[in-house]
Amino acid sequence: MSIILLIEQALNGLQFGVMLFLMAAGLTLIFGVMGLINLAHGSLYMVGAFAAAATAAATGSFLLALVASLVFAAFAGVIVETVVIRRLYDRDHLDQVLATFALVLMFSEGTRWAFGSFPLFLDKPEWLSGTVMLPFGIEYSLYRLTIILVGLAVAAGLFWMIARTRIGIRIRAGENDREMIAALGVNISMLYTLVFALGAALAGFAGALIGAIQSVQVGMGEPVLILAFVVIVIGGIGSIKGAFVGAILVGMTDTLGRQLLPMFFGLFMEPAAATSTGASLASMAIYLLMAGVLLFRPKGLFGGA
Amino acid sequence: MKFKSLVMAASMAAMAAAGAVQAEGVKVGMITTLSGGGAGLGIDVRDGFMLAVNQAGRSDLEVVIEDDQRKPDIAVQLADKMIQSEKVDVMTGIIWSNLAMAVVPAATAQGKIYLSPNAGPSPLAGKGCHQNYFNVAWQNDNLHEAAGAYANGDGLKNSFILAPNYPAGKDALTGYKRFYEGDLAGEVYTKLGQTDYAAEIAQIRASGADSVYFFLPGGMGISFLKQYADSGVDLPVVGPAFSFDQGILQAVGDAALGVKNTSQWNKDIDNAANAAFVASFQEAYGRLPSLYASQGFDTANLLISAMDKADIKDGDAFRAALKAAEFDSVRGDFKFGANNHPIQNIYVREVIKEGDVYTNKIIATGLTDHADAYAADCKM
CB contact under 8 A, B195 and A276: no
At residue B16, the 3 state secondary structure works out as helix
pTM: 0.80
Average pLDDT over residues B190-204: 87
CA distances to A204, B227, B306, B346 from A247, in Å: 17, 21, 58, 45
CB contact under 8 A, A223 and B219: no
Query: Looking at beta carbons, which residues of chain B come within 8 Å of A145?
Result: none
Query: Looking at beta carbons, which residues of chain A come within 8 Å of B37?
Result: 217-219
Contact of B127 with B378, CB cutoff 8 Å = yes
CB contact under 8 A, B198 and A255: yes
pLDDT for A46 equals: 95
CA–CA min distance A142, chain B (Å): 8
- Above pLDDT 90, what percent of chain A? 53
Which residue, B250, B244, B248, is CA-closest to B362?
B244
Contact of A161 with B291, CB cutoff 8 Å = no
Contact of A192 with A34, CB cutoff 8 Å = yes
Domain B142-263+346-377 has CATH 3.40.190.10: no
Average pLDDT over residues B243-267: 88
Query: Looking at beta carbons, which residues of chain A come within 8 Å of B190?
Result: 258, 279
SS3 per-residue string spanning A240-289:
HHHHHHHHHHHHHHHHHHHHHHHHHHHCCCCHHHHHHHHHHHHHHHHHHH
The DSSP code for A119 is P
Domain boundaries, chain A: 3-219
Query: Looking at beta carbons, which residues of chain A come within 8 Å of B206?
Result: 1-2, 4-5
Would you say the C-alpha torsion A230, A235, A239, A244 has a positive or negative sign?
Answer: negative
CA distances to B89, B304, B341 from B310, in Å: 14, 10, 21
Q: How big is chain B by its Cα radius of gyration, in Å?
A: 20
The answer, yes or no, to whether residue B114 has pLDDT greater than 90, is: yes
Query: Looking at beta carbons, which residues of chain B come within 8 Å of A131?
Result: 230-232
Which range (A43-52, A200-209, B224-233) has the least confidence? B224-233
pLDDT for A185 equals: 85
Confidence band, pLDDT 50/70/90 cuts, at residue B21: very low
The answer, yes or no, to whether residue B14 has pLDDT greater than 80, is: no
pLDDT for A291 equals: 94
Beta-strand pair B260-263/B237-240? parallel
- Please provide the size of chain A in residues: 305
Element (H, E) at B308: helix B291-309
Confidence band, pLDDT 50/70/90 cuts, at residue B155: confident
pLDDT for B16 equals: 45
Q: B375: exposed, middle or buried (C-beta count within 10 Å: 0-12, 13-18, 19+)?
A: middle
Which of A115, A214, A252, A254 would you mutate first to test chain B, the one with the most B CBs within 10 A? A214
Tell me the pLDDT tens digit for each residue of A153-172.
999 999 999 889 998 888 88
What's the N-to-C CA distance of chain A in angstroms? 42
How many other CB atoms are there within 10 angstroms of residue B261's CB atom? Answer: 26
pLDDT for B261 equals: 93
The answer, yes or no, to whether residue B350 has pLDDT greater than 90, is: yes
Domain B2-138+268-340 has CATH 3.30.1280.10: no
CA–CA min distance A154, chain B (Å): 21
Confidence band, pLDDT 50/70/90 cuts, at residue B20: very low
* Residue of B191, B206, B219 lying closest to A215 (CB–CB): B219
Domain boundaries, chain B: 2-138+268-340, 142-263+346-377
Q: What is the distance between the alpha carbons of residues B112 and B143, in angstroms, rounded to a whole number? A: 28
Average pLDDT over residues B194-217: 90
CB contact under 8 A, B199 and A213: no
Tell me the pLDDT tens digit for each residue of A90-133.
888 899 999 999 999 999 989 988 987 778 888 888 888 888 88
Do B142-263+346-377 and B2-138+268-340 have the same topology in CATH?
yes
Query: Looking at beta carbons, which residues of chain A come within 8 Å of B196?
Result: 12, 16, 214
Return the top range by mean pLDDT from A16-25, A86-95, A182-191, B194-203: A16-25
Query: Looking at beta carbons, which residues of chain B come within 8 Å of A219?
Result: 36-37
The answer, yes or no, to whether residue B104 has pLDDT greater than 50, is: yes
CB contact under 8 A, B195 and A220: yes
Average pLDDT over residues A245-252: 95
CB contact under 8 A, B219 and A220: yes
Q: What is the distance between the alpha carbons of residues A144 and B231, in angstroms, rounded to a whole number? A: 10
Residue B265 Ramachandran class (φ > 0 left, ψ -120 to 50 alpha, else beta): beta
* Residue of A121, A210, A219 lying closest to B36 (CB–CB): A219
ipTM, 2 dp: 0.77
Average pLDDT over residues A250-270: 87
The phi and psi torsions of B101 (rounded to 5 degrees) equal: -65, -30
CB contact under 8 A, A213 and B227: yes
SS3 per-residue string spanning B137-174:
CCCCCHHHHHHHHHHHHCCCCEEEEEEECCHHHHHHHH
Which residue, B252, B36, B67, is CA-closest to A219?
B36
- Calculate the average pLDDT of chain B: 88
Longest dimension (CA), chain A: 68
The answer, yes or no, to whether residue B193 has pLDDT greater than 70, is: yes
